Amino acid sequence: MTESIGFLMNDAARLFRKALDARAIETGVTSLQWRLLAWILRNPGASQGFLADRLEVEPITVSRMVDRLVEAGHIERRPDPDDRRAWKIYLTECAMPIVRDLRTMADDLVDQALDGLSPAERAEFERLVTRVRENLSSCGQEPLNGHA
Amino acid sequence: MTESIGFLMNDAARLFRKALDARAIETGVTSLQWRLLAWILRNPGASQGFLADRLEVEPITVSRMVDRLVEAGHIERRPDPDDRRAWKIYLTECAMPIVRDLRTMADDLVDQALDGLSPAERAEFERLVTRVRENLSSCGQEPLNGHA
DNA sequence: GCGATATAATAGCACTAGCTACTATTGCAA
DNA sequence: TTGCAATAGTAGCTAGTGCTATTATATCGC
């Protein structure tokens, strides 16, 4: 059942999103929207391409999330004076408290998800997931092996 | 950055799906469709509700995946003689080789994802992910705490 | 300066996923 | 036996995600 690791991760991630979405329902943003907001908070004025790169998703995914967050009034697109193809993304004032609230909720949920694990196990888990993520991240880039 | 654990898992799971989808493109089924096929293989004649329960997704999600897999000719719905509300789901002959091929692909990809981890670390990773998944699974059921 | 190439963002299509609401059927209880 | 609650499945809406293709702009080479 080795192959099930991939789906174990999938389940855990989906259940995490679902649980956080449920907690955050009153904020009006989803867990994944919040993650984007958190990146914008730390990188005000970033382009969508930059954000897509950091989130490791396709630009079109960010494009559509930005659409929704703009419509909801949480962020705004400003034209980039140096590149008329690009937008610069900024949080609006009203998004600030949401980002803070969600951080607390996410921390609580992580604590619940890691229930029963010792501090050492938690650190080990984070280390291992990070490694797996890096392994999978790189395997998407290169053309597997000699497909050229 | 504790809260990032949830998103680390999310990234790892998404990259895994993406990589497996890319490998499986020629089979015509996605990685998640394959997971459903694998459950049907082990439980021929199961109901959609049963499968939703095992996959820990909502019944409607299975309903729509079954729609697509029926249309693609990989599975078939047969009426349940004991319950006219329910379907019994069966693999078709042509799905068998696909399930086998995909198992190999998934195993290879898991091996790549776990690259650099010792056997002990791999076992530990599986154990920890399983625990986290269970923690999150149960926290979706109960009404958090006293919300009634 | 001009043309080829690269890049930023977006449009259309498809799949996974969940919520709420709904239909059809079952099964229990009065 | 009838009537109501529970259950199996589905429809509409929305969100995240990716692929391919397209548009607009930038940049590099000449």
Is residue B73 pLDDT above 60, yes or no?
Answer: yes
Classify residue B146: in a domain, yes or no.
no
Chain B residue whose CA is closest to A128: B125
Chain D positions with an atom below 7 A of a protein C-beta are 7-12, 15-21, 24-27
Chain A residue whose CA is closest to B107: A3
Q: How far is CA B59 from CA A9, B43, B64, in A?
A: 21, 17, 9
Task: Read off the pLDDT band of B144 (50, 70, 90).
Answer: very low
Give the SS3 label for residue A78.
strand
Domain that holds residue B130: 4-141
pLDDT per residue over A128-144, tens digit each? 999 999 999 876 554 33
Classify residue B81: in a domain, yes or no.
yes
Question: CATH number of the domain that B112 lies in?
Answer: 1.10.10.10
Question: For residues A105 and B82, is the Cβ–Cβ distance under 8 A?
Answer: no
CA dist., res. A121 & res. A127, Å (int): 10
Residues recorded for chain B: 148
Asked if A18 and B137 come within 8 Å (Cβ–Cβ), the reply is: no
How many CB atoms sit inside 10 A of residue A48's CB? 20
Question: Which tops the pLDDT comparison, B106 or A139?
Answer: B106
Classify residue B91: in a domain, yes or no.
yes
Is residue B145 pLDDT above 60, yes or no?
Answer: no
CA dist., res. A113 & res. B127, Å (int): 14
Instruction: Name every residue whose Cβ is closer than 8 Å to that of residue A9 and which is 6 or more positions away in sequence.
Output: A129, A132, B9, B12, B13, B16, B129
Task: Read off the pLDDT band of B2 (50, 70, 90).
Answer: low
Which of A68-77, A82-91, A132-141, B13-22 has the lowest average pLDDT? A132-141
Task: Determine the residue type at A90.
Answer: Y
Which of B6-10, B89-93, B132-136, B140-144 has the lowest average pLDDT? B140-144
Asked if A56 and B15 come within 8 Å (Cβ–Cβ), the reply is: yes
Is residue A121 pLDDT above 90, yes or no?
Answer: yes
Classify residue B98: in a domain, yes or no.
yes
CA dist., res. B101 & res. B4, Å (int): 35
**Angle at which helices B4-23 and A119-141 cross, to 10°:** 30
Classify residue B128: in a domain, yes or no.
yes
Asked if A136 and B56 come within 8 Å (Cβ–Cβ), the reply is: no
The total domain count for chain B is: 1
Instruction: Name every residue whose Cβ is closer than 8 Å to that of residue A138 and which is 6 or more positions away in sequence.
Output: none
Is residue A146 pLDDT above 80, yes or no?
Answer: no
**Which of B10, B106, B112 faces A13 most closely, judged by CB atoms?**
B10
B78 touches strand D (CB under 7 A): no
How many CB atoms sit inside 10 A of residue B132's CB? 30
**Which of A117, A124, A133 faces B12 most closely, judged by CB atoms?**
A133
Classify residue A147: in a domain, yes or no.
no
Question: For residues A24 and A31, is the Cβ–Cβ distance under 8 A?
Answer: yes
